[in-house]
Amino acid sequence: MTVEVPLLPGEVLGYRVWRLGDSGLVSYVSVHPDAQTVWAPGVVVAACRHGHEAPYAGCSCGLHASYVPPNPCRDGFGKHNTAVYGAVVAWGTIDTTSTDFRTQYARIVCLAFWRMQTWDHTEQIRELAQHFGVRCVELDELVDIARDYAREIPLQLRGLSPASSRP
């Protein structure tokens, strides 16, 4: 029996939380040994230390993104005050779950700060956004700005995996 793999129309929108590392933006929460990918300006390509193309079913590799924007109060990032929030567009092979997805390719399209973060940290995020060539906005504005670049994965396709998108 052949299972139809849904095709997504072009790039899809996802949301992320990073932290500032010595070499740039790194994943805030590491769920896979390869999740320590440093995010650089431009296209980021997922890799897996097991040698298969990422994301791969049965592995947690790939570039992770959420369907919904982060909420520092709900997600517990408020106590850290060092988070960098943002939106990415993703394409290629996409493995979806009911709450988030893993993708083969992504690029940052917007960075955001939370108004409860320190002035110094907010300035670091502004400088980082300039380095990445993307807009820097307050977290409350992130969704509206991000939707200028792509659309979220439709509800009916969330949890179906793997999906493919056409660039």
Interval 137-152: pLDDT, tens: 999 999 999 999 999 8
Residues with Cβ within 8 Å of residue 55, at least 6 apart in sequence? 46, 61, 62, 63, 93, 94, 95, 102, 103, 104, 162
Answer for the pair 72, 136: CB distance below 8 angstroms, yes or no: no
**Interval 58-81 mean pLDDT:** 78
Residue 27: band (very low, low, confident or very high) from pLDDT cuts 50, 70, 90: confident
Residue 75: band (very low, low, confident or very high) from pLDDT cuts 50, 70, 90: low
As a whole number of angstroms, the distance between CA 35 and CA 20 comes to 15
Q: Which of helix, strand or coil describes residue 129?
A: helix
The pLDDT of residue 167 is above 80: no
pLDDT at 49: 82
pLDDT at 39: 86
Length of the chain: 167
Interval 77-130: pLDDT, tens: 555 577 899 999 999 988 888 788 999 999 999 999 998 888 999 999 999 999
